[in-house]
Amino acid sequence: MSYVLYIPKKYILPQELVMKMVDAAISKAKELDIKICIAIVDDGGNLSGFIKMNGANILPAQIAQTKAYAALGFGLPTADWYPMIKDNPAVLHGLVQADRMTFLGGGLPIFIEGELVGGIGVSGGTSEQDIECAQTALQVVKDH
């Protein structure tokens, strides 16, 4: 009896792509005249890329990493959570207790051909600015 071993194809975030994403987010931040921190995690939640722009505050460094992890954790943008659960106190108060969970805008999941491969978190501007910088970085993935 013979067996056929099936090994599924798995997409990863190559280092070169991560660096291009960071560069794109920085360019957008400069265009918006803001100083941000950018974190990118792989599908295991491991930090693949991070930068704190010169002049960015220190606290957004941790917030960006939390946003990236939270976006990966559920495959949803972090800003989408609050509107979905604001009327459910048990879920709302329960999720805020979870380690590395946030509802702040600026965390987006990263998909390649429909497969969740990571998350990006941007922090330092308004939620709208953080989202815009993260979306600019995701465009690099789509164009790749």
Write out the chain's pLDDT in tens, 144 residues.
Answer: 678 888 878 888 999 999 999 999 999 999 999 999 999 999 999 999 999 999 999 999 999 999 999 999 999 999 998 898 888 888 887 887 788 889 999 999 999 999 999 999 999 999 999 999 999 999 999 998
User: What strands lie across the sheet with 37-42, from one edge to the other?
Assistant: 47-52, 37-42, 115-123, 107-112
Q: Is the pTM here over 0.85, yes or no?
A: yes
Q: Which amino acid is at 98?
A: A
Cα→Cα distances 79→33, 38, 89, 125, Å: 22, 16, 17, 14
CA distance 127 to 18: 22
Task: Give how far the C-alpha of residue 95 lies from the chain's centroid of Cα atoms, to the nearest Å.
Answer: 18
Contact 137, 18 (CB under 8 A): no
Domains of the chain: 15-143 (3.30.450.150)
Tokens representing 28 are: 């957008």
CA distance 121 to 64: 4
Nearest to 62 by CA among 102, 10, 18, 110: 102
